[in-house]
Amino acid sequence: MPDPPLNPFRFGNFVIDEFADRTAELAEVEADMRNGQDLVIFAPRRLGKSSLVLKAAAVMRRKKGLVAYLNVMTTPNKARFAERLAAAIYADVAAPKAKLKDKALAMFQGLRIVPTITVDPVDGRLGFSFGVGNAEADLEKTIEMLLELPAKIAEEREQRVVLILDEFQEIIDLDPNFPKLLRSIFQAQPDVCHIYLGSRRHVMRDLFSDMNEPFWRSAKQMEIGLIPPAQFARFIRRRFDTTNKALRAEVCDRLLDITHGHPYATQELCYSLWEQTPFDREADDDLLARALELVLQSEHAHFSLVWDGLAAGQRVLLEALAREPGRPLSGAYRNRHRLSGPSSTQTALKALVERELVEREPDGSYRVMEPFLVEWLDELVT
Ligand SMILES: Nc1ncnc2c1ncn2[C@@H]1O[C@H](COP(=O)(O)OP(=O)(O)OP(=O)(O)O)[C@@H](O)[C@H]1O
Ligand SMILES: [Mg+2]
């Protein structure tokens, strides 16, 4: 007998095979990659920025495009940054034509600090180490030269290279002067397409939208939002169908009423609902309620930590916004929810936005972004 199907929903890491919608956004990112148009993507946490760009990158790679991906979150210091950058350039861009270790060495031997190159015995991937105790200036020069490599490769191959920098805001923590350095190198690279993503939205906004910042107006800006429920519903129900379970349309609608098509939250709740639903059965409202309860239980520790870290005024405002998204600075809203005066509400609001708990909508109203936080707060106060 064949093994029973596995849970088809995924959450946590980026996904590229399991994709709901984002057709227009995907086409746009792919076109920008082809055209060499620099791009920065803004979105609240866990909305699918990395997934979107990595899916476009996979399409480019299938067409033999040269794409390097570096997550700056994984590079806590300059030496690591240099090592991971070298590895990304080698694995994704240089490797297709320079598979041998000595070819890679030749490419990296002109650097100020010549890396030690190791071969992973399991998958054969090359690792780069710049050692410890290097002078800061040498390390910086090495990074500069590494950042110039994609352009050299593009010129040699007469082919566009795409460099994706994920969690780009972390660059500031590496060195406050890095934005300036990177910008000055990148602007001389017409054949390299730079794509920037980041999860700390206000930091990213400051980097790209503040005219005193080096990256001001240096890239096309793109926003991504929630996935439209109708598209998400098709994706979800098809997954239940193809794994010998079913989900009634009305129950699916109610699930999406809870998550509003938030990609991560939707996949998390679907994962739980799928687990609760026996094979050859239809998921109903009772199972949905149980699935939600389990998700809230598993998020409890995380939300409690968030809650503990908030000042009293922030808690009151968060609770109000969970009950009613809107304009908390207006007198009517503050009266309705018995909030304090405009200036302390403003201070609390700013803090909640900076912590990415609350989002400003294009129409100027505010709401709690994470669907399960809304549910959790609801249970907390009732
Ligand atoms: N197009 C999609 N279809 C279905 N699910 C998606 C889609 N995009 C993202 N997801 C879900 O959202 C989760 C988070 O996606 P991803 O890590 O790409 O978001 P992100 O915006 O980069 O998050 P972070 O802000 O944490 O970096 C994925 O694990 C997946 O469950
Ligand atoms: Mg991401």
User: Tokens at residue 273, please?
Assistant: 């609902």
Whether residue 79 is found in the same domain as residue 208: yes
In a domain, 12, yes or no: no
Question: Is any atom of ligand 1 closer than 6 Å to the C-beta of 169?
Answer: no
In a domain, 10, yes or no: no
Which of ligand 1's atoms lies nearest the C-alpha of 47?
21
In a domain, 241, yes or no: yes
What CATH number did the domain enclosing 73 receive?
3.40.50.300
Whether residue 321 is found in the same domain as residue 292: no
Written as one letter, the residue type at 59 is V
- Of 223, 252, 273, which residue is a domain's last? 223
Whether residue 255 is found in the same domain as residue 299: yes
Whether residue 335 is found in the same domain as residue 198: no
What CATH number did the domain enclosing 335 receive?
1.10.10.10
Whether residue 246 is found in the same domain as residue 287: yes
Nearest ligand to residue 71 Cα = 2
DSSP of 329-376? TSHHHHHHTT---HHHHHHHHHHHHHTTSEEE-TTS-EEE--HHHHHH
Which of ligand 1's atoms lies nearest the C-alpha of 46?
23
In a domain, 4, yes or no: no
Written as one letter, the residue type at 305 is L
Whether residue 152 is found in the same domain as residue 194: yes
97 alpha carbon – ligand 1 mean position (Å)? 32
- Of 186, 206, 223, which residue is a domain's last? 223
Give the pLDDT score at 39.
98
Total domain count for the chain? 3
Question: Is any atom of ligand 1 closer than 6 Å to the C-beta of 19?
Answer: yes
Q: Which domain holds residue 356?
A: 309-381
Whether residue 280 is found in the same domain as residue 369: no
Question: Is any atom of ligand 1 closer than 6 Å to the C-beta of 43?
Answer: yes
Q: Is 229 helix (H, G, I), strand (E, B) or coil?
A: helix
Give the pLDDT score at 97.
56
Give the pLDDT score at 102.
66
Whether residue 238 is found in the same domain as residue 361: no
Give the pLDDT score at 172.
92
In a domain, 54, yes or no: yes
Express as a percent the part of the chain with pLDDT over 90: 73
Give the pLDDT score at 196.
97
Whether residue 283 is found in the same domain as residue 337: no
In a domain, 174, yes or no: yes
Question: Is any atom of ligand 1 closer than 6 Å to the C-beta of 44?
Answer: no
In a domain, 209, yes or no: yes
Give the pLDDT score at 302.
95
Q: What is the block-wise mean pLDDT of the chain (382 residues), using blocks of 10 residues?
A: 90 85 95 96 92 95 92 94 92 63 72 86 84 88 93 88 96 94 95 93 88 91 93 96 96 97 97 98 97 96 96 97 96 96 96 93 92 93 74
In a domain, 267, yes or no: yes
Please state the φ and ψ torsions of residue 362, each to the nearest 5 degrees: -55, -30
Whether residue 95 is found in the same domain as residue 106: yes
Whether residue 328 is found in the same domain as residue 272: no
Give the pLDDT score at 368.
95
Q: Could you tell me where the beta strands, DSSP code E, fall in the chain?
A: 39-42, 66-71, 116-119, 126-129, 161-166, 192-197, 220-223, 246-247, 282-283, 358-360, 366-368
Please state the φ and ψ torsions of residue 15, each to the nearest 5 degrees: -120, 140
Whether residue 87 is found in the same domain as residue 214: yes
Nearest ligand to residue 223 Cα = 1
- Of 306, 332, 351, which residue is a domain's last? 306
